[in-house]
Amino acid sequence: MEFKGNLPGTKPSRTDWEWVKKQIAEDAPIPYDPNDPDDGPYDPNDDAAVDAFFDKATIWSGWPNPVMIQKDGVPIPPSERVPDEDTFPRAKAS
C-alpha cells in the first residue's frame, strides 16, 4: 500500500495543500470583514490587533488535563496552575 499522507483506513484530506503553500509563499492577506460577526473579534492581518487580543486572553495549555496559564491577560504563577476539577476532571487510567 502506498502512503499518501493519510492513515490507512481514513478518508483522504480535503485540504488543498498546494493552494495553502501558494498563499503562504505569496504572504496573501487573510480575508476579513469587520461587519461579519463570523470573522472573529479582530483583524488577523493587523499585528497590533492580534497582539492586543492575545494579551487580554485567557489561555489554557495541556491535554488531557488543561491548565490555565493566563487569565484576562494576567499570567498565572506556576504554583497556582492547578486544573479546576469541576470544569476539567482529570483523565484517569482505566
* pLDDT reported for residue 89: 63
Cβ(53)–Cβ(47) under 8 Å? no
Q: Between 52 and 13, where is the model more confident?
A: 52
Query: Residue 59 CA to chain centroid, in angstroms?
Result: 10
pLDDT tens digits, 57-90: 888 887 777 778 888 888 888 777 766 666 656 6
The pTM score is 0.54
Q: Which long-range contacts (CB under 8 A, 24 or more apart) does 41-45 make?
A: none
Cβ 68 vs Cβ 81: under 8 Å = yes
